[in-house]
Amino acid sequence: MFQLSTEQKVCEVGGVKFGGQPGEYPCVCVSSIFQKGDKVFTGKRKEGFDEKRAEELLKTQERLSEETGVPGMADIVANNGKEFRLFIDFVSSVSDMPFCIDAWVMKPKLEGAAYCAEKGLLDRMFYNSLTVWEQDLETEIKEIADIGVKHVLLVAFDQEDQMPSGRVTGTQKLLDAIEKVGANFESIFVDTSVMNGPATAFCSIANKMVKEKWGYPAASAPSNGSYMDLKRFKDMWEFKGWSATDAALESLSAFFYHDMIFSGPMAGATRILPAVAEAEAFLATAVFAETKKLPTDPNHPLFKLFPDFVEQLKSLA
């Protein structure tokens, strides 16, 4: 049920491994910081940010990763190169966490990538992202290859085919563009584009298809779906009710063919990482029932949180 016939690739960014067969390595949670509306901004964005608050967010996620076994990364969101330089310097100075650079348009992403190269941070940074809707995709690929970017996320979608198969088509278009340019990256992984909460199921199915076809680690951003319903569900059930739906969507995704999830604002890490840890222990146990194999990662949530149960499983192997 869970094992894939294609040999699976394992990526490593900043010491964090992800990918492989389901149950081998836990899903990575990539939490955003400095996004629009982040409470680290106490006034206008251009006026700076609360460094104490930002450090608390990063340290809390690091602590939760250590406690749960769920790896965390930071999704650094910026509007321009100046912001990227400021935010990259801050994150890299207070945390050893891997991170990605995230912007809507090409120019600031390229500036952020170039700054990471200048600072010797390319091992712990991934480029978020190459997209099928970029008008000058080949130029972007050439630029990041020339910068020396090692780890690249592809965001795959096909407007003409919004079923899971369209994500596979979109992935192929991006891989074709990379091949045409002649670029080589150490790691490639695929984000299959969330449309809304329940449609994240399409991402999970597409992720399985991507992993079966190429063996690449696969991802999506379930938080994009859950945050669409923030106001509506808060009105119905208050914040606790909405936060339950958010944690459920993130953990369901982690269970079902996601090597990485973009899990929303880092302030939510206190609910998301424990939920994902439970889902990963659930998945690892299901895989054990099928294969009699325990996770490859010694820090997996199953080992971290349920050591007595692991000993029981070993006796059943």
- Find, among 79, 126, 236, the residue nearest to 87 by Cα: 79
Interior angle at CA 99, CA 8 and CA 117, nearest 5 = 100
With H, G, I as helix, E, B as strand and everything else as coil, classify residue 267. Answer: helix
Cα-Cα end-to-end distance for the chain: 18
pLDDT given for residue 307 in this prediction = 98
Whether 37 has a pLDDT exceeding 90, the answer reads yes
pTM: 0.97
> Which pLDDT value is given to residue 57?
98
Which residues, in sequence order, are CB contacts of 185 under 8 Å at separation 6+?
A: 145, 149, 150, 151, 152, 178
List pLDDT tens digits, range 149-166: 999 999 999 989 999 999
The pLDDT, as a whole number, for residue 100 is 98
Condensed to tens digits (0 to 9), the pLDDT of residues 126-152 reads 999 999 999 999 999 999 999 999 999
In a 13 Å sphere around the CA of 170, the CA atoms on its Cβ side amount to 28
Domain 10-316 class, CATH top level:
alpha beta
- Residue 124's pLDDT is 98
pLDDT for res 214? 98
The beta strand positions in 179-227, using DSSP E, are 187-191, 218-220
Note the pLDDT tens digit of each residue in 214-249.
999 999 999 999 999 999 999 999 999 999 999 999
State the average pLDDT for the chain: 97
Torsion sign across C-alpha atoms 297, 278, 286, 252? negative
Percentage above 90 pLDDT, the chain: 97
Does the pLDDT value for residue 317 go beyond 90?
no
pLDDT for the residue 1? 85
| CA 60 to centroid of chain Cα atoms | 18
Q: H/E element holding 193?
A: none
SS3 7: coil
My answer on whether omega of the bond before 129 falls inside 30° of 0, hence cis, is yes
Burial 249-262 (b: 16+ CB within 10 A, else e): bbbbbbbbbbbbbb
Please give the DSSP secondary-structure letter assigned to residue 9.
P
Dihedral (C-alpha) 203, 204, 210, 211: value to the nearest 10 degrees? 160
pLDDT at 153: 98
Q: Using 50, 70 and 90 to split pLDDT, how confident is the model at 305?
A: very high
| DSSP conformation letters of 28-68 | EEEEEES-TT-TT-SS-GGG---HHHHHHHHHHHHHHHHHH
Q: How many percent of the chain have pLDDT more than 70?
A: 100
3-state SS track over 74-112: EEEECCCHHHHHHHHHHHHHHCCCCEEEECCCHHHHHHH
